[in-house]
Structure 1
Amino acid sequence: MSEKIVLYYFNGRGKMESIRWLLAAAGVHFEEVNLTKREQYEKLLNDGALMFQQVPLVEIDGMQLVQTKAIMNYIAGKYNLNGKDLKERVMIEMYSEGLCDCMEMIMMLVFKKAQEKETQLGVIKGKVTSRYFPVYEKALSGSQYLVGSQLSRADVHLMEATLMLEELFPTILSTFPNLKAFQDRMRSLPTINKFLQPGSQRKPQPDDVYVKTVMEVLNF
């Protein structure tokens, strides 16, 4: 197996995007294999690469890793994005899990019908402004990072989530000044800034082509 880091997924955000963000924030080069045909997926299955018959799949350090949380935990540990001790790590994981829950709601929007999507948008905005953002706004009061004195995976996930939410609700940070200031600081980090530039491996908002590809490859 190659020593390169290779990501196997669709040419879109989905569950792989947070993995791309972590690698990019760590300044790590990675390659991608975009699944566009059912045959590619079946080959991964037949080769035994997908433990639970699901993607994302990441080849790293001679391993074939599946399950998004396991992949992100490994990357965070390998590239020093998981805090300095066990207490910091559990706080990072709590913040990260909340953000993953939040982003999963957004991920599923593209697969919903128009009327369901409008209803869900209202649900998302309500939960974000009353349940999620107040937690991160408080954590960033007088602090540069969510946990401890260095960048962690929780900070990277928060940056990704705030940008995704601004795509849906452009003024959503207007009543969260600490989050807005945090976002500005994150933009100034060289690796993050590079990932935000045109031509990077950051994916755009999902469209009908992405949905059609996912449905065809997974045979839904």
Structure 2
Amino acid sequence: ILGSEILDENRQFKFIKGPIFSNIILADEINRTPPKTQAALLEAMQERSVTIAGENYKLALPYFVLATQNPIEQEGTYPLPEAQLDRFMFAIKLDYPSFEEEVQVVKRTTSDLNPSINPLFTAQEIIDFQHLIRRIPVADNVIEYAVTLVSKTRPDNELSNEFVKNYLDWGAGPRASQNLILAAKANAAFNGKFSPDIEDVKAVATGILRHRIIKNYKADAEGITEEMIIDKLI
């Protein structure tokens, strides 16, 4: 997915860019790819660059990585390690579509209709929106609430309670705090606010934290889900 070096007709090495050099990457069923392929995304997602044969290539902005994991048929799969999951801002659970949604899916995919696609934004407009979100001010008490919420997920932290100590092996790291604030800013902007409040942090907490906390065997045995733990903390 990174690309490869080939020997061209002039006997010169030439780098052919792989699919990772795009604005939007969709890694379909990423848990079916071997760890080597998964690891190829690490530098790209964190540094927005790729290093191959000692040369660093910057990736074009904006840059998004989306990945899907199939919850069934887990044999022969490679679950993403925690350090890689942490690089994804959100974990979103998709259930079956509603009846009306499924009717629309069937209508659109069983006909000979060839829909036209009209771009809504330019790349630069998306980058401008991203900078705008980052410029939204946040009160100290909101940042402190986000950091406190993340700290409570860590079983060895003095802020954690007995519920967390009983059911979690590992809590969320600093990226969770950063992403809580970024997502809260975006949520506030979507709702017409000039600055996020604690309710905006709560609104995005489940998607930010569910893939960053690690349950223990006791939680699995008692049917405790990540969502239940996060709700309890909120």
Q: TM-score, normalised by structure 1?
A: 0.27
**Where is the strand percentage greater, Structure 1 or Structure 2?**
2
Q: Given the two structures, how large is their TM-score scaled by the length of structure 2?
A: 0.25
Query: Which one has a bigger Cα radius of gyration?
Result: 2
Which structure would you say has the larger RCO, counting Cα contacts within 8 Å and 6 or more residues apart? 1
Higher share of residues assigned helix: 1
